[in-house]
Amino acid sequence: MQSTAIQPPPKNGIRARLKALYRLMGECRLCPRECGTRRALGVQGVCRAGIRPRVASITRHFGEEPPISGTRGSGTVFFSNCNMRCVFCQNFPISQMQVGKDMTAAQLAGGMLRLQKEGAHNVNFVTPTHYAAQAAHAVHLARRKGFSLPVVWNTSGYERVDTLRLLEGFVDVYLCDYRYASPALAKRYSRTEGYPALIEPVIEEMLRQVGHFDGGRGVIVRHLVMPGHLEETRIILNRLRHRFGPQTTLSFMTQYFPAHKASAFPPIGRRLSAGEAQAALGMLAASGLENGWTQEDDLASPGDME
Ligand code: SF4
């Protein structure tokens, strides 16, 4: 990945955005749940986040998409807690059981500078939505001390467009899931029936800020194929192609495995069958989407999916 962070907005723009983000967190409306929790007083929201960012790990990671991990790794900051709380979450101890430790924005900035020193290609905020204010604040503090890596916003996509607007200038790459097309499934597995209605405006806002992924900057959409729900995949591929164009960069994932409470939610209590995986890849080939990666590529070569 090219180490070219975008030009940040003017200084007063940064301060105004940070203030607005912290204000949104006060009686929290950072994410679409808009639960109104008084996080500024330390109360925990539906996502279980309080006033301080809780972080499970800050380390280089080599399992992301090729241009994100590169050869020296992506500098991942794994935030604890989550505003989606999916029943099949593979990281549920971190996302739903509060594993991690509280940090200040300054400590977070220190971690980012350490990753830069270690040679990471970027800093990759994983599940950052509920800590948008503190993460942006940390970017600001780190930049003042010489931080110059691209910033990746690695998100479920359950975001508010108003919050994302305030992140403009802090983020270089949006790595955004497109999980559900159907409100019923979004409700059943994540209690987020509004997800399908908001995910496309969210991606649109991300594209407005950074454009389609060009190898160093832009939007990458991720889709995880789920067992028994291939129709969702078909709809999502279609929508991506028609709303955002064939040049949309897609990371197409067929490695689903049943974690956390998934066994209690058939049909997602199993892996994809070989037939399902093959059918999903067939849908992808027929979709007209041109850029990205599948697991069959072993995530080896950025570019064509053909
Ligand atoms: S980020 Fe957390 S506290 Fe804020 S609105 Fe969403 S669920 Fe509520």
CB contact set of 110 (below 8 Å; sequence gap of 6+): 142
- Condensed to tens digits (0 to 9), the pLDDT of residues 236-258 reads 999 999 999 999 999 999 999 99
Q: What whole-number distance in Å separates Cα of residue 292 and Cα of residue 251? A: 5
What is the average pLDDT score of the chain? 93
Beta bridge partners of 174: 153, 219
pLDDT over 70 (residue 297): no
Would you state the pLDDT for residue 258? 96
Beta strand residue intervals within 80-231, DSSP E: 101-102, 123-126, 151-155, 173-177, 218-224
Would you state the pLDDT for residue 97? 86
CB contact set of 121 (below 8 Å; sequence gap of 6+): 1, 3, 68, 69, 70, 72, 73, 74, 75, 149, 150
Task: Tell me, using a 6 A CB cutoff, whether residue 130 lines ligand 1.
Answer: yes
Task: Tell me, using a 6 A CB cutoff, whether residue 30 lines ligand 1.
Answer: yes
Whole-number Cα distances in Å, 272 to 37, 87, 227, 229, 287:
38, 17, 5, 10, 20
Q: What whole-number distance in Å separates Cα of residue 163 and Cα of residue 33? A: 12
Residues of the chain with pLDDT > 90: what percent? 89
pLDDT over 60 (residue 61): yes
Closest residue (by CA) to atom 6 of ligand 1?
Answer: 31
- Condensed to tens digits (0 to 9), the pLDDT of residues 176-201 reads 999 999 999 999 999 999 999 999 99
Beta strand residue intervals within the chain, DSSP E: 54-61, 74-79, 101-102, 123-126, 151-155, 173-177, 218-224, 249-253, 291-294
CB contact set of 117 (below 8 Å; sequence gap of 6+): none
pLDDT over 50 (residue 3): no
Q: What is the dihedral of CA 234, 238, 241, 246, to 10 degrees?
A: 50
**Residues 149-169, mean pLDDT to the nearest whole number:** 98
Question: Which CATH superfamily does the domain covering 11-297 fall into?
Answer: Aldolase class I (3.20.20.70)
Could you give phi then psi for residue 205, rounded to 5 degrees?
-65, -40
pLDDT over 60 (residue 57): yes
Tokens matching residue 170: 């802090």
Task: Tell me, using a 6 A CB cutoff, whether residue 47 lines ligand 1.
Answer: yes
Q: Of all atoms in ligand 1, which is nearest to the CA of residue 37?
A: 3
For ligand 1, the distance from its centroid to the CA atom of residue 46, given in whole angstroms, is 6
**What is this structure's pTM?**
0.93
Omega cis (within 30) before 9: no
Task: Tell me, using a 6 A CB cutoff, whether residue 133 lines ligand 1.
Answer: no
pLDDT over 80 (residue 302): no
Q: Please report, for the chain, the start and end positions of each structural domain, with discontinuous segments joined by +.
A: 11-297
pLDDT over 70 (residue 66): yes
23, 24, 31, 86, best to mutate for ligand 1 pocket (most atoms within 8 Å of CB)? 31
- Condensed to tens digits (0 to 9), the pLDDT of residues 162-181 reads 999 999 999 999 999 999 99
Residues in the chain: 306
Would you state the pLDDT for residue 251? 98
Q: Of all atoms in ligand 1, which is nearest to the CA of residue 25?
A: 4
pLDDT band at 42; cut points 50, 70, 90: confident
